[in-house]
Amino acid sequence: MSGPSLDTVVSTFGQSAKAKLSNPAIAGAPEDQLRSPLEVLIEQGLAPIAGHAVGQVSLVGETGLADIKTRPDYAVTVGKVLVGFIELKAPGKGADPRKFQDPHDKDQWARLKSLPNLLYTDGNAFSLWRDGAPQGSIIRLEGDVEISGVKLKAPGELVALFSDFLSWSPIPPKSPRRLAEISARLCRLLRDEVSEQLERGSSGLTGLADDWRKLLFPQADDAQFADGYAQAVTFGLLIARTRDISLADGIEHAASDLKKSNSLIGTALGLLTDNPVNQKALATSLGAMTRVLNEVNWAEVSKDDPDAWLYFYEHFLEVYDNTLRKRTGSYYTPPEVVNAMVRFVDDVLRGPLFGRAAGLASAEVTVADPAVGTGTFLLGVLRKIAANWPAAGSVDTFLS
């Protein structure tokens, strides 16, 4: 595909940026003056060089939101499909967020590193990050964006970086543990974005938090609501994907379809996300989450193992909030231990001490599991009963 040369687009970027940054009549932070030149550089220059038609790549950003730590300056779409995010810094700050000293920048990086495809730039340097890990080297322009003007140049590696950035698509997880890690990072970002929007007084989320307290948890503070909200939405979307419900048309469509097979979770997901004000306030985290989780193929992840969910939440909490994992005691017993303990109890019930020939299946036996978690022990008990009671046939038959 023919298009402008790298030298031409970078020279034009340098000329435009110098004019903006050196104009005493323009107010605002230096990074704000870079916005327009950067948009032209990428949409009309680097994207076409990387093989995308002019108009196919769009930088979607909002001005005046520099204080929001969970929202990068731009969401980037290719053909209206979200591919990543760009965070723009003032010239001279560099493009390695691990080295930032400003408390705002450091706190912001702690949140944004959960994003699956993120580009940092200060106009002079460009770097690509995925899930907090650098992808290749930091690319630095030849010259200074503030003073070089038309003499600004870039190495050819800049095109390769943008080609990689713009061609990103989620890698479907192959195991429950990997899915837990991916969804936990995105859930943490959603939690942080909810917390930040509550601090800013977002009307939709504030009202939802009030309803949450009135109907469910009267003592819940904003942090607990943000945690509950984020986990409820994340697991609602995960349940939708286990039903092979697409997220590509938006969460509201997924919630509507989920109601057909799981009315409780589908309704809850709809109530938590159907407010347009909340959708806009949580655009970064919800956009990233739906884009990534839509690629989940549950049949491939679970490999038809009915126990695939059993230890998912423990692995999820390891990444999402290990302190919460310790506080809630979310450590689940391995299946081998469960089976041995269930078999032991069944044998004791059949023995001379209790004389219950049917063991756990005896009508006189009641099983209680106060710390049920994901139901590992109860499932083990049901499987033991089904195995010892031919009329049950299977756990599914027994439960029905």
Q: Which of 311, 312, 278, 274 is nearest to 296 (CA)?
A: 312
Cα distances (Å, whole numbers) of residue 276 to 61, 201, 236, 293: 18, 16, 18, 21
Does 393 have pLDDT greater than 50? no
Q: Is residue 31 part of a domain?
A: yes
Res 25: pLDDT? 65
CA atoms within a 13 Å half-sphere pointing along the CA-CB vector of 363? 0
Q: Are 161 and 40 part of one and the same domain?
A: yes
Separation between Cα atoms, residue 245 and residue 231, nearest integer Å: 19
Does position 1 have pLDDT exceeding 50, yes or no?
no
The residue from 115, 135, 166 where one domain ends is: 166
The last residue of one of the domains, among 118, 147, 166, is 166
pLDDT beyond 50 at 283:
yes
Question: What would the pLDDT profile of 230-254 be if each residue is shown by its tens digit?
Answer: 999 999 999 999 999 999 999 999 9
| Predicted local confidence at residue 229, as pLDDT | 93
The residue range of the domain holding 23 is 6-166
Compare 293 and 31 and report the one with higher pLDDT: 293
- Here the tokens at position 378 are 């109860």
For 328, the token pair is 């809630």
Residue of 67 and 159 predicted with greater confidence = 159
Tell me, yes or no, whether 171 lies in a domain: no
Confidence of residue 64 (pLDDT cuts 50, 70, 90): low
For the four alpha carbons of 355, 359, 365 and 366, in that order, the dihedral sign comes to: positive
Same domain, 284 and 321: yes
Query: What does the pLDDT look like over 158-179, one tens digit per residue?
Result: 999 999 999 999 999 999 999 9
What domain count does the chain have? 3
Q: What is each CA distance from 392 to 304, 314, 350, in whole angstroms?
A: 22, 31, 19
> Among 289, 309, 328, where does a domain finish?
328
pLDDT band for position 395 (cuts 50, 70, 90): very low
| Residue 101 placed within a domain | yes
Task: Note the pLDDT of residue 373.
Answer: 65
Q: Tell me the whole-structure pTM to 2 decimals.
A: 0.80
**Rounded to the nearest 5°, which phi and psi values hold at 84?**
175, -170
List beta partners, residue 133.
130
Q: What angle do CA 65, 124, 17 make, to 5 degrees?
A: 70
E strands of the chain, at which residues?
Answer: 57-61, 74-78, 81-88, 118-121, 125-130, 133-134, 139-140
Angle CA 289–104–115, to nearest 5? 20
Residue carrying structure tokens 């107010």: 27
Top mean pLDDT of 191-195, 342-346, 364-368 is at: 191-195
Kind of pairing between the strands at 139-140 and 118-121: unpaired
Averaged pLDDT for residues 328-340? 63
Same domain, 45 and 154: yes
